[in-house]
Amino acid sequence: MTIIKICGIKTLTDALAAIDAGADYLGFNFYPKGVRFIEKEACAEITSVLKREYPHIKLVGVFVNSSVDEMKDIMKTCSLDLAQLHGDETVEILNTLDGKAFKAFRGIPERIDGFARSESPAFLLDAAVKGVYGGSGVTADWEGAAELAKKYPLLLAGGLTPENVAAAIRRVKPWGVDVASGVESAPSRKDAGKMSEFVKAVRVAESK
């Protein structure tokens, strides 16, 4: 079954709607310059409810060039399961997070060595957009992603929508898909209908 991650959650209402739609993973963005940025305290309020009511849902913190101490503090405070490193982090930084972090690549990476974790997801593949750390709405290189997906359980991001996610799954065959802007009614505001449509499209693609 393809894992579905809905990223850029900012309210408990959106988190619950995403879970109701069928999301497996929820992402919270801690990049201060991002439109989906959430404060640590606000996130902790949301995740405390989710951990109690929906312990099976995986919670992911999205970081861009944050210090290791800051990431560990936020992960502990917000009860996060994983850290998604979306900046220019090194293998060394990845390894300091005790197997609880995975790298996000913007574009097809020249080298994977050391970055691919043994657990799923091995890493995330996003579109390459200059100066933008994710959430751009631009589709990734599906051809390149398909080649990598033969070797690694990767999480595919980049411009996915209810309309194109089925084609992406058929072409790439990823371990999971990650969506942010594609299920929003406005920047950082999730649309319950679009989230449901997205999940349905994924499940239909799997059944064919």
Between CA 149 and CA 156, with CA 153 as vertex, the angle to 5 degrees is 65
Which residues are identified as catalytic?
7, 126
Residues 71, 59: Cα–Cα separation, whole Å: 14
Q: Please choose, from the candidates 169, 173, 156, 171, the residue with its C-alpha nearest in 3D space to the C-alpha of residue 202.
A: 169
User: Which of these, 133, 141, 142, 146, lies nearest to 180 by C-alpha position?
Assistant: 133
**Assigned token pair, 88:** 């220019």
CA atoms within 13 A on the CB side of 33: 9
Cis omega before residue 153 (within 30°)? no
What sections of the chain are H helices per DSSP? 12-21, 40-53, 68-77, 91-95, 142-149, 165-172, 192-207
Coil vs helix vs strand at 84: strand
Cα three-residue angle 108-114-115, rounded to 5 degrees:
45
- Beta-bridge partner residues of 6: 26, 179
